[in-house]
Structure 1
Amino acid sequence: MQEPLAFRMRPQKIEEIIGQKHLIGEGNVLRKCLAAKRIFSMIFYGPPGTGKTTLAMVLANELELPYRLFNAVTGNKKELEQIFAEARLYPGLILIVDEVHRLNKDKQDLLLPHVENGNITLIGATTSNPLHAINPAIRSRCHLFEVKALSQTDIEEALCKALQSPKGLNNEITIEEDALHIISRHSNGDIRYALNILEICAIASDGCISKALVEQFSQIPNMSMDSDGDGYYDVLSGFQKSIRGSDVDAALYYLGIMIEANDMDSIERRLLVTAYEDIGLGNPAAVARCVQAIDAAKRVGFPEGRIPLAMAIIDLCLSPKSKSAESAIDAAMSVLRHTSYKVPDYLRFTPVNMKEEDQYDYNRSDIWNQIQYLPDALKDIQFYHPQMNSSYEKVLAQNLEKLRKVKRSSNLAALKKKR
């Protein structure tokens, strides 16, 4: 059985690697490591199909060092122990760990001493952000290097090499220029995805890969929306920040990605949070309309659900913004996390041994706005600060200004004497 094209085209030497000039270009860090014939434990992180594992293997080959591959998900402790035994014979053995962020604690406990004393040189590969996903004990022993998504030009260079190489299609297949551009655009920087599309199109072609053929096998661009990876969170982040920044076109773009992924749950959660957090009191009516739009979208489902969602996005993007509610509750919670304050006795649900004139009076609505509700230590603190971005919150601010001019008191007996 013939190996896949992407596997056959995997680079063996540093000069064969496409892209990643920030790491392997002349004068850059990994090129200098090769020149000095030194290698350190490191973690490569970046999107799928960008050559993280390949880069690790090429470094080992260039330095003529033995290496072993280990998958953090499927590999077991017995395999690790065999590798450690081999490392005693070959100090500095390179261990390339795919999905390194998934190493469980048992495997980490086995691995760490060998990395610490240099018997093993660890090169990890992950699609996750190592600052969030990698255990600090592993991370502190490794250098972190980002492996970036390839550009469309890089992808086209890789495709042309695959078409010409004896290891690839050996000049037996040609491709139309438009077809080449479509594959490179749809691959989203993932060289493995691009080569897989090229291979299936080559099999289906009559010797020339046409634009129509590529469109048949690559109808939807490759999108980074794996819910376990950083691409997923990057899309959500771009979505919320676009709404916050009032960029309606960008927000619709990110919404489209989530719709293509059929991810209604993420759309609902992120849209609700964004509406209340970023628009908030700037336009409460738009927030309410957003809730209604989400309900409508869930009722009709996709593809029709995209319409009410798009309406909500446009509404929120072009609405006045106010984060005053979020800022207010965060300020209040910041205070209570540092010190605990007792609720004033007259506000307690069942006050004990308190004179009637000192108790809260449910029938005296005329004095409610004069009572001090905060503990004495916080009586003058202000958590809510209006943002004057909308006529609605300006009205709230005017009301607040009047209320704050009232001198509040904890002496309920004295307040009750006022008429």
Structure 2
Amino acid sequence: MTQPLAYRMRPRTIDEVIGQAHLVGEGKIIRRMVQAKMLSSMILYGPPGTGKTSIASAIAGSTKYAFRMLNAAVDSKKDLQIVAEEARMSGTVILLLDEIHRLDKTKQDFLLPHLESGRIVMIGATTENPYITINPAIRSRTQIFEVKPLSEEEITHSLLLALKDTERGLGEYKVEIEENALLHLSRATNGDLRAALNGLELAVKSTCENEKGVISLTLEVVEESVQRKALTHDKDGDAHYDVISALQKSIRGSDVNAALHYAARLIEAGDLPILSRRLLVIAFEDIGLANPSAAQHTVAAIQAAEKLGFPEARIPLANAIVNLALSPKSNSAYTAIDAALSDIRRGNAGEVPDHLRDAHYKGAKSLGRGINYQYPHDFPNEWVNQQYLPDKLKTRIYYEPKTSGKYETALKQRDEQIKHWKEGARE
């Protein structure tokens, strides 16, 4: 049976990896490890189809070490023993262990000494957060790297390579793909290169040649192949971003009907990850402290939508959209952190005051660290007048509370009370 295109197009060396420049780019950690031949076991975590297996395969190809693949959920301890024996006989083996978050204690106990000896370089792959789902004993023996969704440009580049590659790709077929079809294929899969390549292969192999012997891939063919509709009226390719922008601006402007309209466009296009991400941003950026419970409701709605999938996912999403659109609005926290970041990026930071510095290590007292710090819980109102900002920023104000919601109105009252206490302390 012919292997899928996504399998055939896996990178053979680190130079062929698409995306993940923060890990495999020039001077970055995984490339440095490969070049120095100083590999250590690692865990790669991120969404499906973002290159976890590809990176493992490329590391093996670049180092010429043996490469084996197992699944922590379905492969047995005996399978691990076979890999360990191979490593003992022939040297280092790179083991890609998929779904590592499902590794049971028996397999873990067997694997740990081999990781410590370096005979097996394990590359664990998972879509789960390893800091939550993976046993500390494994975490302490590995480095953890996040793998991110690929950009549209990176996916487009990969698709074009696959269409040209006569050895591993689809170069033996004479294919013409419309620009908007290629764009939709790169967008509809939401950063999942495996899904994009699978969609391309299906489109090519299920489309008949025309009278000129050419396989013509139109937008309609690609939509059918990936089972995602493109946004309508997308003549210049900008409708995708225009609709997302319009959704956020409609919610920000408290127009619930417009918000539902633009959300419906994204729902019809099947863009659950994009819609979910945007609603989370809106909840914290535009509603913020005016109605903090809106963010909690949005998170719950997104979690429900992800479990349900379309078409039912539209129901919790609609609840979140109506709630966000009709909530009071505040961007005070968002603008406050940006103002603080602006100072830091301009080099306007200053020294941490001595009385706030860590005083838990030997010799800290002799350096004046932590001396004269006053513990607020020892004072009335759980507050005491002392300086917290560096000297050069001690009068700087970042947070300007608004009064568009009850919660932030209460925060403003507390802020004003503290200012009153400060003024009284200076008199």
Q: Same fold (TM over 0.5)?
A: yes
Which of the numbers 321, 327, 338 marks the counterpart of 1:310? 321
The 2-side partners of 1:395 and 1:123 are apart by 50
Specify the alignment match of 2:6 in structure 1: 6
| Deviation (angstroms), 1:302 | 7.3
Separation in 2, partners of 1:160, 1:22: 23
Count of residues in correspondence between the two structures = 304
Q: Which amino acid aligns with 2:224?
A: Q
Show the 5 A alignment for 1:6-155.
6-155=6-155
Q: CA deviation at 1:317?
A: 5.1
Partner of 1:38: helix, strand, or coil?
coil
Shift in Å, 1:219: 4.0
Relative to the length of structure 1, the TM-score reads 0.59
Matched position secondary structure for 2:327: helix
Q: Say if 2:328 and 2:404, in contact at 8 Å, map to a contact too.
A: no
Contact 2:42/2:143, CA 8 A, preserved across alignment? yes
Q: Report if aligned partners of 1:321, 1:389 keep a CA contact under 8 Å in 2.
A: no
CA distance in 1, matches of 2:405, 2:183: 50
Q: Are the counterparts in 2 of residues 98 and 124 from structure 1 also a CA contact under 8 Å?
A: yes
Which letter does structure 2 place at the counterpart of 1:180?
A: L
| Residues 155 and 191 in structure 1, CA contact (< 8 A), matched pair in contact too | yes
Work out the percentage of aligned pairs sharing the same amino acid.
Answer: 40
The alignment yields a C-alpha RMSD, in angstroms, of 4.7
Consecutive unaligned residues in structure 1, runs of 5 or more: 223-241, 294-300, 323-377, 398-419
Q: Which amino acid aligns with 1:186?
A: A
Residues 155 and 189 in structure 1, CA contact (< 8 A), matched pair in contact too: yes
> Partners of 1:159 and 1:24 in 2: how far apart?
20
Give 1:191's aligned amino acid.
L
Secondary structure of the residue that 2:124 maps to in structure 1? strand
Flag structure 2 segments of 5+ consecutive residues without an equivalent. Answer: 209-214, 231-247, 302-311, 334-377, 384-400, 412-427
Q: Deviations over 1:242-294 (max 9, x none)?
A: 9xx96879x9789998996999xx9xxx9xx99xx9666x9x9x99xx9xx9x
The 1:91/1:278 distance shift into structure 2, 3 A limit, reads same
Q: Compared with structure 1, are the counterparts of its residues 114 and 255 closer, same or farther at alpha carbon in structure 2 (3 Å cutoff)? A: farther
Partner deviation per Cα, 1:322-372 (whole Å, 9 max, x = no partner): 9xxxxxxxxxxxxxxxxxxxxxxxxxxxxxxxxxxxxxxxxxxxxxxxxxx
Who is 2:243 aligned against? none
Moved more, 39-48 or 387-396: 387-396
Structure 1 position 5, deviation (Å): 1.2
> Are 2:222 and 1:211 aligned?
no
Q: Secondary structure at the match of 2:205?
A: helix
CA shift at 1:34, angstroms?
2.5
Contact 1:92 1:118 in 2 (8 A): yes
Spell out the pairing of 1:186-201 with structure 2 (5 A cutoff).
186-201=188-203
Per-residue deviation at 1:82? 2.0
Shift of 1:197: 0.8
Tell me what 1:389 maps to.
403
Distance verdict in 2 for CA 1:247–1:56, change over 3 Å: farther
Give matches, 1:238-257, under 5 Å. Answer: none
Measure the CA separation in 2 of the matches of 1:46 and 1:388: 37
SS at match of 1:18: coil
Structure 1 stretches of at least 4 aligned residues deviating more than 4 Å after TM superposition: 245-249, 251-263, 277-280, 301-309, 319-322, 380-383, 390-397
